[in-house]
Structure 1
Amino acid sequence: MEIEKEKSVRVAVRVRPLNEREKASPRPSAVSVATKTHQVTVRKKTYTFDRVFGQYATQKDIFKGIVQSVVDEALAGYNCTIFAYGQTGTGKTHTIQGSLSPHDENAGIIPRCVNYIFEKLQATKSEYSVRVSYLQLYNEELIDLLGENKKGKQLKLLENANRGGVYCHNLEEVTTLTASHVFDLLEIGSKNRIMAETLLNDSSSRSHCIFTIRIHSKESSIPGEEMIQIGTLNLVDLAGSECVGRSGARNVRAREAGSINQSLLTLGRVITALVDKLPHIPYRDSKLTRLLQESLGGRAMTTIIATLGPGKC
């Protein structure tokens, strides 16, 4: 049991390449990476993680190195979550989503997971169904990126043990049988997502997004008996934390940044409380931590990919 518990949460770090502004600096980088020992050194302080990916790691390296094994667990009937966390402009959306063309080398975790899942399911020749949903959390408001937000269909968080804990009421789940259909849905959802330009990032995510793939598969284990497996894979692109003064955020953008930073601060408090084994975990202090409750403290297998900008500035 202890071995399984240790495997249930893994943390990886991905360091993006220097951008042109950082390269022009007299001392461009403050970060060094040792991939073999899984260590990141910031100035003179060294941190160790489960996996570390340097500036030249490809999208394929990320998928093969830490994501593929998680998808295999979801296919085996487990609840799994992968989320990208870090400052704005460090490559979270590129890592989680990237290009939505599955054969593009810049395709991110979501399109690679979709392709991999359907390839595996079709190879088994067993009965299966796949359902997907795409949820956005913007200024503590829940928005369905796939469904039409019709009158009287307000999204709200509810708790039900039979549905796996906290879930989003009225969130549309689309049943799909092909990877190409999922890519069409992703295109729709991505266009609906709220993005904006700041001084730190030309295309800054102003919301947290959760793309969920629910996999139902039927297998014949013993002659005359059938086994139904239900696995869930949550792929979460968190909005980036930012210093309002440095990002140049004003008015609406400043309010967005305040909401983002507040929910990420609560996420930090929840993780600290879990690590310290405190009797009370403040999940209810934000909608983000309520949504991720089963991913952080439940029985789910969780992978955190922390993205890091290496620039000294």
Structure 2
Amino acid sequence: MSSIRVVCRFRPQNKNELAQGGCSVITVNDNQTVNINGAESNHTFTFDSVYTDKWSQKQVYDDAAKPVIEDIMQGYNGTIFVYGQTSSGKTHTMQGPSIDDPELKGVIPRMINTVFDCISKAEEHIEFIVKASYIEIYMERIRDLLDTRKDNLKVREEKGKGVWVEGTSEVYIYREDDILEVMRTGQANRAIAETSKYHNTYNLLYLQILI
């Protein structure tokens, strides 16, 4: 079972940044330590891994996320938590510029590929049930991104069941294309207002695998 890891990813510059003459202010020497070269001062941070803008989507997935998914398929709970300010590259990493492009797709499309690959290799007597939910947390309200009529959902906790969000839609996943459709629906229903510094927006795709 993999241990908890904290990794840092620097996405490639987008077209607006390139058009404005943006330049990198980071230096990575050993894939674990990053130096931020500021105008007035420099800072150094150390992580379990550091991915520069030269790392491909596949390389980031294979190193940071795939071991977690493989542990899940062995019966362990797993979480991939992505944190960063607006436009830092969370969506670029998790969803990718295109969920259909083999090179550009992010962690989530690749994750479901690993899940179904493990299912196909499992012993014939083992049965799997895969379900997905997609929620958004904004201004302390939980909204179902698969059914926007479900707003201000409540978090519940029960001994033996754990913590869950009451009333969320659950979609059964039979093939890889099903999770891509869930993603398209959820992305279309996301809050599009710019996130203020006082209100972060969190989008959570919850995949439940029963063996």
Could you state the TM-score of these two structures normalised by the residue count of structure 2?
0.84
- Alignment partners' CA distance in 2, 1:107 and 1:65: 15
Between Structure 1 and Structure 2, whose CA radius of gyration is higher?
1
Contact 1:196 1:206 in 2 (8 A): no
Q: Over residues 221-261 of structure 1, what are the superposed CA-to-partner deviations in whole Å (9 max), with x where a residue is unaligned?
A: xxxxxxxxxxxxxxxxxxxxxxxxxxxxxxxxxxxxxxxxx
Task: State yes or no: 1:83 paired with 2:84.
Answer: no
Q: CA deviation at 1:196?
A: 3.9
Q: Choose the corresponding residue for 1:39, options 15, 33, 41.
A: 33
Match of 2:11 in 1: 16
After the TM superposition, list the runs of 4 or more consecutive aligned residues in structure 1 that deviate by more than 6 angstroms: none
Count of residue correspondences: 200
Bigger strand share: 1
Task: State yes or no: 1:70 paired with 2:68.
Answer: yes
Contact 1:131 1:215 in 2 (8 A): yes
Cα RMSD between the aligned structures?
2.4
Q: Over residues 75-116 of structure 1, what are the superposed CA-to-partner deviations in whole Å (9 max), with x where a residue is unaligned?
A: 111111112211222211110111221x53110111110111
Q: CA deviation at 1:207?
A: 2.2
Bigger helix share: 1
Match of 1:207 in 2: 201
- Alignment partners' CA distance in 1, 2:57 and 2:24: 22
Contact 2:141 2:152 in 1 (8 A): no
Contact 2:155 2:166 in 1 (8 A): yes
Match of 2:107 in 1: 109
Q: 1:191 to 1:37 in 2, by over 3 A?
A: closer
Q: CA deviation at 1:174?
A: 1.6
Supply the AA of the counterpart residue of 1:212.
Answer: Y
Q: CA deviation at 1:66?
A: 1.3
- Alignment partners' CA distance in 2, 1:47 and 1:14: 13
Please state whether the residue corresponding to 1:208 is helix, strand or coil: strand
5+ long unaligned stretches in structure 1: 199-204, 218-313
Q: CA deviation at 1:67?
A: 0.7
Q: Over residues 241-296 of structure 1, what are the superposed CA-to-partner deviations in whole Å (9 max), with x where a residue is unaligned?
A: xxxxxxxxxxxxxxxxxxxxxxxxxxxxxxxxxxxxxxxxxxxxxxxxxxxxxxxx
- Alignment partners' CA distance in 1, 2:118 and 2:208: 14
Q: 1:186 to 1:33 in 2, by over 3 A?
A: same
- Alignment partners' CA distance in 2, 1:180 and 1:18: 29
Match of 1:149 in 2: 149
- Alignment partners' CA distance in 1, 2:145 and 2:67: 28
Q: Choose the corresponding residue for 2:169, options 169, 172, 185.
A: 172
Q: 1:148 to 1:192 in 2, by over 3 A?
A: closer
Contact 1:194 1:206 in 2 (8 A): no
Match of 1:305 in 2: none
Contact 2:11 2:92 in 1 (8 A): no
Could you state the TM-score of these two structures normalised by the residue count of structure 1?
0.58
- Alignment partners' CA distance in 2, 1:184 and 1:28: 36
Match of 1:282 in 2: none
Contact 1:146 1:172 in 2 (8 A): yes
Q: CA deviation at 1:24?
A: 5.0
